[in-house]
Structure 1
């Protein structure tokens, strides 16, 4: 009865369009008040909600959201794009490679897929179309390349996963770097194939070594940002939360005093936008904590563990089933919501089967990114549509070859754990 009420009410609330954060909280309260013989005081729910936010790791989310917004407004991302273009802009289809590389760099700054799509799309899409690149292909590439945002650290969803499971966030970040590089290489290979097949344009202007050097020098303050973030974490000098705070300070200094593309009066709107974005994420985490507690307290999770053990699944088959389940959820739930909803349920099962916590984490994180590229939720497609003004259907058609490459990397991670652990 508890299971039916908990999940039934959740499905009903989602079906009528209630936001996921309110849905989780409402499902918990419906279960407490309506389930017979379920003696839990409603007063314990606020305790669980606030308890879910009592983690220093979660503070990193707000800092990284703020740092990403400052970088977008402060000219840091545009300097990175100019540097990427100076390196590989002369190859046929070179601007598409610049787009992929710029997304990878920006991913190492923001940790957000939609933010990466918007930031790089605003700078590159219109110019690429003017040069003769096909609109649909560019928009589709932008959607899929933006998906490196939550994979190449810092990654908000990896921080959420580590907070839920106790996994080392530093190890998650290390695995993300390697897998992100693989995705980047695959996307570039697909770009080169279509550049020659569809005769994408080539930059006629030759860029000299002096211009490359000048672009590099100008981009040094921007390039130092991911170095500071990742170097501080991997060296052990800073926790992810501390590195996120340092990233905010460095982004402010560079934007205000080095590139001077941001003014002090711009900060209020940046802080406001960052507060709204962070609050949305934290509210989902808070209500999902109460949902997960009810799930465990009622004994449902224990029954599921026993059921899975009884099936005698091997780890590989289990990972495939979980991958497909996560992809299905990703089509209608936002990535972080999927993570906080399913990970507390699925990780105990994976742990029983001896699956590595980092390997399982990468399966979860990449699946949630794939969900941002697939309708109907598809936040990356919505972000790309806001920049390109194309219909969602056109963007989906354009992204297909790049999406196939991304999904191929995902199932390589699912089937071969060494793809993840190779970089630890």
Structure 2
């Protein structure tokens, strides 16, 4: 391997990011530059690589889950879930903060996207929390952190991409994400109580009567059923993860148009356009990142980096700590899809050599990506929450530190307790 190749590859990529090029463009340009300068392959290979990157039955789950999330997001499901959580736990200390976490967990089973969860729930809960006496910055930070649960608990677009790149079972990844996602939610419960539980400025919620709880539960039942149908079908072997995506779309159409009747046919163009744009962004990242990954593998950079990392890792514990450190730093600057394609070619040989289960590692990696969504300077959930709360990035970056610390503790548990991720997968049909 030419020692100048990785310098040019990562150097050009870093410069392009510094110049505010989109990540997809930076990945593609740096890859083409290295291929041309070092004559790694004919340039005609690039279109073939772009095509093969998206020529996957499994990736069909991505646009369908995005479409399902957009359909259900246009309904009032989020408001109904919030109303149910408020009458059940709102009266407890830090009750509205707990409502935010609970609803984030449930909504994660619908959208599969951290920014989407933050936007849908933050628009309702951030103003409500501020009106109840919560600090605006901390309320926005909590909603951003809760949104990160959306890529751990299935259906998760991040887990679909990991499964494609790592050649791991997406159905098992989906089931494996349930308990770790709940653990991350419990970590946010803890930090919410410590931050808000004894704050005298916070007004407690009114206790809901049994009748109010029953009405709210009936109203939110279809929202609660969505993740149960998707995960139950996968767990029971009724359909695959890709087929579950189409089931989610059909379910969203039935609920939105015929049960709740929140949707109108005039909403369809906007929903389809949003789905097309989001899918296009995801697939463009998949294409250019796959070319970057091909360069890493073909040039020998991935093998050399994996060998160096294995040399540093004296065992599974040290190896996981090193890998988590690399992923947490990478999450500050890149999105999950780019990280999967760039770092997995380097990390997979290390993971296999250390005897780490690929499904377990997928959850570990995705939990890191969830933290990356709330760490500046490129924490996408932070930008969404800032826009809703009308605060600066500097303000929310300080307020989110306790949530980052809580999720980091949960990450360590997920990393060193594999059975938390793998327990449910052992009973799959």
TM-score over 0.5 (shorter chain)? yes
**3-state SS, counterpart of residue 289 of structure 1:** helix
User: Normalization by structure 1: what TM-score?
Assistant: 0.95
Q: Contact (CA 8 Å) 2:175, 2:231: kept in 1 or not?
A: no
Structure 2 Cα separation of the partners of residues 50 and 114 of structure 1: 28
In the alignment, is residue 20 of structure 1 matched against residue 37 of structure 2? no
Going from structure 1 to structure 2, the CA distance change for 1:134 and 1:59 (only over 3 Å counts) comes to same
1:293-312 matched pairs, under 5 angstroms: 293-311=294-312
Going from structure 1 to structure 2, the CA distance change for 1:200 and 1:162 (only over 3 Å counts) comes to farther
The alpha-carbon deviation at position 119 of structure 1 amounts to 0.5
The alpha-carbon deviation at position 239 of structure 1 amounts to 1.1
Q: Contact (CA 8 Å) 1:339, 1:368: kept in 2 or not?
A: no
User: Normalization by structure 2: what TM-score?
Assistant: 0.94
Identify the residue that residue 32 of structure 2 maps to in structure 1.
29
Q: Contact (CA 8 Å) 1:159, 1:169: kept in 2 or not?
A: yes
Q: Contact (CA 8 Å) 1:133, 1:201: kept in 2 or not?
A: yes
Residues 232-252 of structure 1 show CA distances to partners (whole Å, capped at 9, x for unaligned) of: 111111111111111111112
In the alignment, is residue 115 of structure 1 matched against residue 142 of structure 2? no
Structure 2 Cα separation of the partners of residues 22 and 372 of structure 1: 20
**3-state SS, counterpart of residue 54 of structure 2:** coil
**3-state SS, counterpart of residue 149 of structure 1:** helix
The alpha-carbon deviation at position 202 of structure 1 amounts to 4.5
Structure 2 Cα separation of the partners of residues 358 and 399 of structure 1: 29
The alpha-carbon deviation at position 86 of structure 1 amounts to 2.0
In the alignment, is residue 266 of structure 1 matched against residue 294 of structure 2? no
Identify the residue that residue 44 of structure 1 maps to in structure 2.
45
Identify the residue that residue 13 of structure 2 maps to in structure 1.
10
Q: Contact (CA 8 Å) 2:93, 2:198: kept in 1 or not?
A: no
Structure 1 Cα separation of the partners of residues 50 and 8 of structure 2: 20
Identify the residue that residue 99 of structure 2 maps to in structure 1.
98
Residues 250-286 of structure 1 show CA distances to partners (whole Å, capped at 9, x for unaligned) of: 1122112222222110110111011111111111111
**3-state SS, counterpart of residue 147 of structure 1:** helix
Q: Contact (CA 8 Å) 1:292, 1:345: kept in 2 or not?
A: no
Q: Contact (CA 8 Å) 2:310, 2:319: kept in 1 or not?
A: no
Q: Contact (CA 8 Å) 2:90, 2:205: kept in 1 or not?
A: no
Q: Which stretch of structure 1 is more off in the superposition, 303-312 or 211-220?
A: 303-312
Structure 1 Cα separation of the partners of residues 254 and 420 of structure 2: 38
Q: Contact (CA 8 Å) 1:92, 1:200: kept in 2 or not?
A: no
Structure 2: tracts of 5 or more residues without a match = none
Residues 304-354 of structure 1 show CA distances to partners (whole Å, capped at 9, x for unaligned) of: 344444456212111111111111111111222112211122112211222
Structure 1 Cα separation of the partners of residues 27 and 195 of structure 2: 44
Going from structure 1 to structure 2, the CA distance change for 1:396 and 1:3 (only over 3 Å counts) comes to closer
Residues 104-133 of structure 1 show CA distances to partners (whole Å, capped at 9, x for unaligned) of: 111110111111111001111112211222
Structure 1: tracts of 5 or more residues without a match = none
Structure 1 Cα separation of the partners of residues 6 and 98 of structure 2: 49
Structure 1 Cα separation of the partners of residues 137 and 205 of structure 2: 23
Task: Compute the RMSD of aligned alpha carbons.
Answer: 1.7
In the alignment, is residue 317 of structure 1 matched against residue 318 of structure 2? yes
The alpha-carbon deviation at position 49 of structure 1 amounts to 1.0
Q: Which stretch of structure 1 is more off in the superposition, 305-314 or 45-54?
A: 305-314
Going from structure 1 to structure 2, the CA distance change for 1:106 and 1:312 (only over 3 Å counts) comes to closer
May I ask how many residue pairs the two structures share in their alignment? 422
1:133-144 matched pairs, under 5 angstroms: 133-144=134-145
